[in-house]
Amino acid sequence: MKTDVEELSPTRVKLTVEVPFEELEHAFDVTYKSLAKQVRIKGFRPGKAPARLIDRYVGRGAVISEAVNHAVPELYNEAVQNEEIFALGQPDVEVTKLEDNEELAFTAEVDVRPKFEVEDHKGIEVTVDSTEVTDEQVDEQVSALRERFSTLVGVDRPIEDGDHLSIDLSASVDGEKLDDVAVSGYSYEVGTNNMLEGLDETLRGMESGGEETFSTTLVGGEHEGKEADVTVTVHSVKAKELPELDDEFAQLASEFDTIDELRDDVRNRMSEVRRMQQLSSARDKALEKLIEQIDLPLPDAVVDEEIDRRRQSLEQQLGQSGLSKEAYLESQEKTEEEFEEEIKTGAASAVKAGFILDQLALQEDLSADQSELSQYVFEQAQRMGVSPDQLAQHLVESDQIRVAFTEVVRGKAMDLVLANAKITDEDGNVVEQETASEAEEAAKTAAVSAAEASDESAEAAQEDTEESKDEAESK
């Protein structure tokens, strides 16, 4: 086999492959065996007809065509390996010469990763947020925990923001009662302003048993946009009663005996979370700087493929959440043009990052062993909520193991960049780094710890609420 490589651009090459017919023997053997099973020739059992009769029965041209279709992919892959071409995507193949018993020639144009070296990847300087936790931030977290242990108690006073009410609502337009607006025994927190316009203003200052009517414009339903008279009746008024921030509260809300111990634990948890965020931020910023300092062309087809993947991913997420694209853009305060530009920029950056990490891994001779692949599958399975065996089987069946291998190796390349980076926080302090495994373990520990704390608090809050409810009913 003779191979010639022509560089059409820094990201695309043209392979010309010439093969004498004697090197296609294997392809013809496979073709004859396949056709012998399909044709029925008198005097021969299925699969036993000789090649010369198959040529006569189906036509020599059809046999050659079938053999070529089988041979070209194998010859292309062999040429790519021999020429050490980093091919991207599927090639555009054209058979340029096909002479029976003489020669097969074809060309294959394909996108390739551009040739470059990753230099100056050591000593990248990045600045990240500090992990310091202030007293005010601790107070905020403790206050949030205190809110979870609050109880609702009846009050005999004018209604204020934050009060929880039981109300009835009825409405009419031009004296006609609207059944679709009427509600009874509805629980509502004053100050949330998430119902009818003017409701909160009307409720403030009212008392239990009171009734008021106000005017508002309806924003939904059959009478949308019309002015309606709405009557609100208050059946009960309850206010939050917060526990005292003392040792008794610490014992109720946690495993600690004193409020100081609880505050120290909150501070430690917040510091650990910030440490994780700090390392993640350092990783992202180091990669951004590496991308900025390396200039290389990108294949349009590869970038377009990444753009399509990102669009499909977003559409799938929106479909699962029941949110339209228009509503999503409105929530993000973006125009269609800004969204498209963001998608394109992100896709190009992702493709470039992949090229750089692949090349760095090649330069540093990085690879992934079976245990590292297994760990990757295990972690991805946890995130996806499936068993590792299921995910592993899917990767094998869909021929995605190579993708998993690439992700692991790219991760190791990024670990190398981060290990050699100079990381400081906004106060000028040097940030001590961890290995990838230590960082991953710390992240898991912090996540589990936070989840356990949340579960314990939720259970305690529920028990406390139920006890308060029982006491109120007994009174």
All structural domains of the chain = 2-112 (3.30.70.1050), 151-241 (3.10.50.40), 250-297+364-457 (no CATH)
Degrees to nearest 5, angle at CA 150 with 148 and 153: 150
When pLDDT is cut at 50, 70 and 90, the band that residue 323 belongs to is confident
Residues 165, 299: contact at Cβ < 8 Å?
no
386: left (phi over 0), alpha (psi -120 to 50) or beta: beta
Location of structure tokens 């191979």: 3
- Report how far apart, in Å, the C-alpha atoms of 287 and of each of 290, 350, 354, 363 are: 5, 10, 10, 17
Q: What is the mean pLDDT of the chain?
A: 86
Per DSSP, which regions of 329-459 are E strands?
422-425
pLDDT at 455: 45
When pLDDT is cut at 50, 70 and 90, the band that residue 451 belongs to is very low
- Inter-helix orientation angle 401-419/436-474, to 10°: 100
Rounded CA separation 314/324 (Å): 11
Rounded CA separation 35/28 (Å): 10
pLDDT at 45: 64
Residues 307, 339: contact at Cβ < 8 Å?
no
pLDDT at 473: 38
pLDDT at 43: 63
Rounded CA separation 16/134 (Å): 67
User: Is residue 307 over pLDDT 70?
Assistant: yes
User: Is residue 426 over pLDDT 60?
Assistant: yes
How many C-beta neighbours within 10 Å does residue 454 have? 12
Mean pLDDT, range 392-398, rounded to an integer:
87
User: Is residue 459 over pLDDT 70?
Assistant: no
Mean pLDDT, range 65-81, rounded to an integer:
92
Mean pLDDT, range 228-250, rounded to an integer:
93
pLDDT at 470: 42
When pLDDT is cut at 50, 70 and 90, the band that residue 454 belongs to is very low
Q: Give the HSE-up count for residue 75: Cα atoms under 13 Å, Cβ half-sphere.
A: 29
> 39-47 long-range CB contacts below 8 Å, 24 or more apart?
none
- The two beta strands, 422-425 and 125-128, are parallel
Degrees to nearest 5, angle at CA 386 with 381 and 387: 80
Mean pLDDT, range 57-67, rounded to an integer:
85
Rounded CA separation 120/6 (Å): 31
431 against 438, higher pLDDT: 431
pLDDT at 10: 93
pLDDT at 438: 46
Rounded CA separation 210/170 (Å): 14
When pLDDT is cut at 50, 70 and 90, the band that residue 446 belongs to is very low
Residues 159, 200: contact at Cβ < 8 Å?
no
User: Is residue 437 over pLDDT 70?
Assistant: no
Rounded CA separation 442/462 (Å): 30
> How far is residue 383 CA from its own chain's centroid?
10
Rounded CA separation 131/272 (Å): 8
DSSP helix/strand/coil, 2: strand
- List all residues 6 or more positions away from 38 whose beta carbon is below 8 Å from its beta carbon: none
User: Is residue 125 over pLDDT 80?
Assistant: yes
- Mean pLDDT is lowest, of 121-135, 149-163, 320-334, 404-418, for 320-334
User: Is residue 56 over pLDDT 90?
Assistant: no
> 219-224 long-range CB contacts below 8 Å, 24 or more apart?
221/178, 221/180, 221/181, 222/180, 223/173, 223/178
Per DSSP, which regions of 299-382 are E strands?
none
- The two beta strands, 164-173 and 87-99, are unpaired
Mean pLDDT, range 252-260, rounded to an integer:
93
DSSP 144: H
When pLDDT is cut at 50, 70 and 90, the band that residue 327 belongs to is confident
User: Is residue 111 over pLDDT 60?
Assistant: yes
pLDDT at 49: 74
User: Is residue 330 over pLDDT 60?
Assistant: yes
pLDDT at 320: 86
> Tokens at residue 319, please?
């479909």
Tell me which range, 206-215, 432-441, 457-466, is most confidently predicted by mean pLDDT: 206-215
User: Is residue 192 over pLDDT 80?
Assistant: yes
pLDDT at 181: 78
Residues 391, 381: contact at Cβ < 8 Å?
yes
Spatial CA neighbour of 132 closest among 430, 422, 425, 446: 425
Per DSSP, which regions of 211-327 are E strands?
211-217, 227-241
When pLDDT is cut at 50, 70 and 90, the band that residue 400 belongs to is confident
When pLDDT is cut at 50, 70 and 90, the band that residue 104 belongs to is very high
Rounded CA separation 31/316 (Å): 42
Mean pLDDT, range 69-83, rounded to an integer:
92
User: Is residue 469 over pLDDT 80?
Assistant: no
User: Is residue 124 over pLDDT 60?
Assistant: yes
pLDDT at 224: 82
pLDDT at 219: 79
Is the sign of the CA dihedral 361, 354, 288, 418 positive or negative? negative
At 163-185, the pLDDT tens digits run 999 999 999 998 888 887 789 99
Residues linked to residue 107 through DSSP beta bridges, in sequence order: 16, 94
When pLDDT is cut at 50, 70 and 90, the band that residue 434 belongs to is low
> Tokens at residue 391, please?
């995910």
At 132-154, the pLDDT tens digits run 899 999 999 999 999 999 999 99
Rounded CA separation 143/17 (Å): 73
